[in-house]
């Protein structure tokens, strides 16, 4: 079968790679000037040394990324240990803490005497115990995070200094959207990723040499790749799909739309009612990323520095995007003595002389409308010779992107491939 794959992030790369392995003839189209999507590695020179630095996809683990690890093993990709420590800097409330150890938890020693902070810690323990029990016993109520917190009378500090920083940072999601998350989806994700426990957490890893090593390994094995080739229109007919680019028209037996849902909708000449409803329901958040060396966008106290560092912003309307600084030297095996950071949506600009590069990444907002859209699209996969792949069809992460690609490959009929690995409690 001759198949067009539109989009060369992890979903498109995975679809193209495994479809070719199954004997199909694949053409991969990518509108950007590089393959990989969020797998975006750049060369950085500091201290007289040039080294690859990942700026989008950063880490995976040995528990919830089974398909990614299998792919990396197949490609011969080398992994290095990483770190997923987390800190909160809440300037408005005068609070800093990190969960790395006791000293970082009380990075401000005076907090040991503050009832509000002590209740906050007690609420973390209560929330994690309740959430774990509900997931394990399969009795998570169907409600929003907002409703659950109010019902159980958790403190405002639990949301402001723990839940919102953690969830907002993981999904790059504004405060208001976190409150509207479906509780079952959130708790299952947190449980599966070991976020609700202190011990026996997953082992986190990063790609040695940058994620472009796996991207390049896949691209080398594909026979027909079209970089900087945006699709402008897709027409579905009886027994064929026609794609239009600046070079003209080309027909295929089927198409895999491995791009964001809103992009897919714009490409379809005549979307069905279900496609229009589902694809238009998923919203995305633009996140500006600045790679820099300015330490003022980290916690003020060095003992609180962590791999992920949430920065509280004043947001009366609950719509500002999350602000977060990644400590790149801790996340990746970098050779620099100078400390390198990447700040997502910086609340204040880093020093101009410290800025190395800027990027923009879009992330799906997985609210109730998005979850409903995912269910709708499951029922129409393959109709009109059209398949959909993307992390937005699941939990929004790299593993989800590849998992959705494997779903498509199996639907198309690649019987020689293993099915997607299903995680417990999902």
pLDDT digits (tens, 9 = 90+) for 226-243: 999 999 999 999 999 999
Which part of the chain has CATH 3.50.50.60? 2-80+206-272+380-412
Range 2-80+206-272+380-412: architecture per CATH: 3-Layer(bba) Sandwich (3.50)
Question: For the chain, what percent of residues have pLDDT higher than 90?
Answer: 79
Which part of the chain has CATH 3.90.660? 85-200+284-365
- Residue 418's pLDDT band, with cuts at 50, 70 and 90, is very low
Residue 424 pLDDT more than 80?
Answer: no
pLDDT of amino acid 262: 97
Q: Residue 13 in contact with residue 218, Cβ under 8 Å?
A: yes
Residues 217-232, mean pLDDT to the nearest whole number: 98
| Cβ neighbours, 10 Å, residue 85 | 19
Question: Which residues are within 8 A (CB) of 384 and not within 5 positions of it... i.e. 6 or more apart?
Answer: 236, 241, 272
In this prediction the pTM is 0.89
Range 85-200+284-365: architecture per CATH: Alpha-Beta Complex (3.90)
Residues 150-163, mean pLDDT to the nearest whole number: 94
Mean pLDDT of the chain: 92
Residues 338, 343, 346, 351, Cα dihedral to 10°: 20
194: left (phi over 0), alpha (psi -120 to 50) or beta: left
E strands, 55-198, are: 60-61, 79-81, 86-90, 95-98
Residue 51 pLDDT more than 60?
Answer: yes
């Amino acid at each position: 079968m001759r198949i067009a794959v539109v989009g060369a992030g992890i979903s498109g790369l995975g679809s193209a790679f495994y479809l070719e392995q199954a004997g199909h003839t694949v053409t991969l189209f990518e509108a950007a000037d590089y393959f990989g999507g969020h797998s975006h590695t750049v060369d950085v020179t500091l201290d007289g040394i040039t080294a690859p630095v990942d700026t989008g996809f950063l880490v995976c683990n040995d528990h919830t990324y089974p398909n990614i690890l299998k792919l990396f093993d197949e490609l011969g990709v080398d992994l290095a240990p990483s770190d997923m420590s987390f800190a909160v800097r809440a300037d408005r409330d005068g609070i800093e803490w990190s969960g790395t150890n006791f000293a970082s938890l009380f990075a401000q020693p005076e907090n040991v005497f503050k009832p509000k902070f002590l209740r906050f810690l007690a609420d973390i323990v209560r929330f994690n115990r309740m959430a774990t029990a509900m997931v394990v016993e399969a009795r998570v109520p169907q409600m929003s995070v907002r409703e659950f917190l109010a019902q159980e009378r958790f403190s405002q500090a639990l949301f402001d200094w723990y839940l919102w920083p953690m969830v907002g940072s993981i999904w790059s999601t504004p405060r208001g959207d976190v409150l509207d998350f479906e509780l079952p989806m959130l708790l299952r994700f947190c449980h599966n990723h070991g976020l609700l426990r202190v011990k026996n957490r997953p082992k986190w890893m990063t790609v040695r040499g940058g994620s472009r090593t796996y991207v390049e390994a896949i691209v080398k094995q594909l026979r027909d790749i079209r970089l900087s080739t945006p699709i402008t229109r897709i027409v579905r007919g009886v027994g064929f799909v026609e794609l239009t680019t600046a070079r003209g028209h080309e027909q295929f037996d089927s198409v895999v739309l491995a791009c964001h849902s809103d992009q897919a909708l714009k490409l379809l000449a005549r979307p069905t009612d279900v496609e229009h409803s589902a694809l238009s329901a998923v919203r995305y958040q633009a996140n500006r990323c600045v790679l820099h060396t300015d330490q003022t966008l980290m916690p003020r106290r060095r003992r609180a520095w962590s791999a992920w560092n949430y920065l509280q912003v004043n947001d009366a309307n609950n719509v500002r995007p999350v602000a977060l600084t990644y400590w790149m030297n801790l996340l990746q095996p970098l050779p620099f003595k100078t400390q390198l950071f990447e700040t997502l949506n910086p609340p204040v600009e880093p020093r101009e002389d410290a800025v190395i590069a800027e990027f923009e990444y879009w992330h799906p907002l997985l609210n109730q409308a998005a979850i409903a859209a995912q269910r709708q699209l499951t029922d129409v996969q393959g109709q009109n010779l059209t398949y959909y792949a993307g992390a937005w069809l699941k939990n929004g992460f790299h593993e989800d992107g590849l998992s959705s690609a494997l779903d498509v490959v199996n639907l198309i009929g690649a019987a020689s491939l293993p099915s997607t690995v299903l995680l417990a409690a999902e």
